[in-house]
Amino acid sequence: MIHTKLRHLVLAIGLMAAGSAQADYVGSLGNIGAPASVAFLNSTNAGTLTLSALPLPAPYNFNDQWTFTLGGNASVTSLVAAFNFAAGSGTFGIDNLRVNLLNSMGVVATGWQVVSTTGPFTQLISMTPAQGLVAGNYTLQVRGQLLAPPAAYSGSLIAVGEVPTAVPLPAALPMLLLGLGALGAAARKRKQR
């Protein structure tokens, strides 16, 4: 009988712990082309910035994921995560903020990069891997240490495409114009005869 009560107690504690531990936040930024700027935001006020249910290396205790797709016609030459820290907000209840970019295979594309949380400023972090970005699915990971509510972070994912270059005129253009002029002169002579 004691074993049954103990088993029920352990089961109840386990269920309460599982109920209070929430899964990591996953948000979608949709389909991104270039040029584009897509905003992302997470906060304890919205109830989505919570402690991670997954074991993370110290001191991190939350790990958010923002998924997006670069379309087949996307020509992205630069991808930047811009974090906005307004004046007077201090550390926003977050410390040790890091970002990372995963490609569609789940392979790290850029590695974890530090985001300073001692604003006020906007910090730009390049998320472009050396080999560039191709069409496909990507995940922007944001992890950090949630100190105390209220806490929040916000930013934009900025995609820059190839800038079209002017088509150079061939070096033979003057010769082409001279040839057309000569044809015109020959046609006029023929008409006058």
Give the residue extent of every domain in the chain.
24-161
Instruction: Give the HSE-up count for residue 81: Cα atoms under 13 Å, Cβ half-sphere.
Output: 26
Q: For 24-161, which CATH class?
A: mainly beta
Phi then psi for residue 68, to 5 deg, are -155, 165
Choose among 127, 110, 115: nearest CA to 76. Answer: 127
- Cβ atoms of residues 24 and 62 within 8 Å: yes
Residue 70 burial (CB count, 10 A): 22
User: Per residue of the chain (193 residues), what is the pLDDT tens digit?
Assistant: 554 444 443 333 333 333 333 348 899 999 887 778 888 888 888 888 888 888 888 899 989 999 999 876 556 677 888 876 655 544 467 888 888 888 888 877 778 888 877 666 677 888 877 667 778 888 988 888 888 877 888 888 888 776 555 555 566 667 667 777 787 778 777 778 7
Put simply, whether the predicted model's pTM sits higher than 0.75 gets the answer no
